[in-house]
């Protein structure tokens, strides 16, 4: 499905409008997250999501769309993935391993929220295509803007097929995160916003530029 070679991909999540999607695509985002959780301030109605996809995809065919769901029926997830031709679905709730496996062969990302005090992360319980690590919060299932110890992600990296790093990433700290973890992708939401669901174009560009600069430094070190 996704082939970025040795490059770390960039996912911008919580996009809620056509202009913001175009900003992200133009800046070089690889993945755009569309949130369908009714508990989120970034929630999209399917018709609005369809407008974003229909406008952005012809202009930027290399950009892939990921649907974000929180404890929603598998039929709803599958139907929306089909209707919008989503490249992947991301499950950000308390979905069981059986519920996650039921979505195969759709490319499935299971998000797990990490407490810094947790000695283990139950990622290997899930049969899925990627694991996303975000910071645990009692208030919201994601988009907290808070980081967790990246060493926990580095320890998990060899145990999962693909690892996506999220949780409080910004242009100021993403290079440091990449120095600790070599993930499949980085995921940013509130770190590039001016308000929930409203992206800041300058922050989007700065974040992607910071990832690209860190990637260039890593290539130089490996050489």
Write out pLDDT tens, residues 55-64. 999 999 999 9
What integer pLDDT is reported at residue 145 of this predicted model?
67
Say how many CA atoms lie within 13 Å of 111 toward its Cβ: 27
Beta-carbon count within 10 A of 214 CB:
18
Q: Higher pLDDT residue, 186 or 120?
A: 186
Contact predicate 131/141, CB 8 Å: no
Tokens matching residue 213: 């600069």
Q: What percent of the chain stands above pLDDT 70?
A: 90
Q: Give all domains of the chain, ordered by start, each with its CATH number.
A: 9-118+125-222 (3.20.20.70)
Q: What is the mean pLDDT of residues 194-204?
A: 96
Q: What amino acid positions are annotated as catalytic residues?
A: 13, 134
Q: Rounded to two decimals, what is the model's pTM?
A: 0.92
**pLDDT of 93 higher than 80:** yes
Contact predicate 87/61, CB 8 Å: no
**pLDDT of 222 higher than 80:** no
């Amino acid at each position: 499905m996704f082939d970025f070679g040795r490059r770390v991909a960039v996912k911008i999540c919580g996009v809620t409008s056509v202009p913001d999607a175009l900003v992200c695509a133009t800046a070089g985002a690889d993945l755009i997250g569309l949130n369908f959780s009714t508990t989120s301030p970034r929630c999209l109605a399917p018709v609005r999501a369809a407008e974003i996809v229909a406008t952005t995809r012809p202009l930027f065919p290399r950009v892939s769309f990921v649907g974000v769901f929180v404890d929603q029926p598998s039929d709803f997830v599958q139907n929306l993935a089909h209707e919008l031709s989503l490249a992947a679905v991301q499950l950000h709730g308390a979905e069981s391993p059986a519920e996650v496996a039921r979505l195969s062969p759709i490319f499935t990302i299971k998000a797990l929220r990490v407490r810094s005090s947790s000695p283990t992360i139950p990622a290997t319980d899930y049969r899925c295509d990627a694991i996303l690590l975000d910071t645990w919060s009692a208030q919201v299932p994601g988009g907290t803007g808070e980081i967790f110890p990246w060493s926990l992600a580095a320890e998990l990296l060899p145990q999962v097929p693909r690892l996506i790093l999220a949780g409080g990433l910004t242009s100021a700290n993403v290079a440091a995160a990449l120095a600790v973890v070599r993930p499949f992708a980085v995921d940013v939401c509130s770190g590039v916003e001016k308000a929930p669901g409203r992206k800041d174009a300058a922050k989007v560009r700065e974040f992607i530029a910071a990832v690209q600069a860190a990637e260039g430094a890593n290539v130089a070190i490996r050489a």
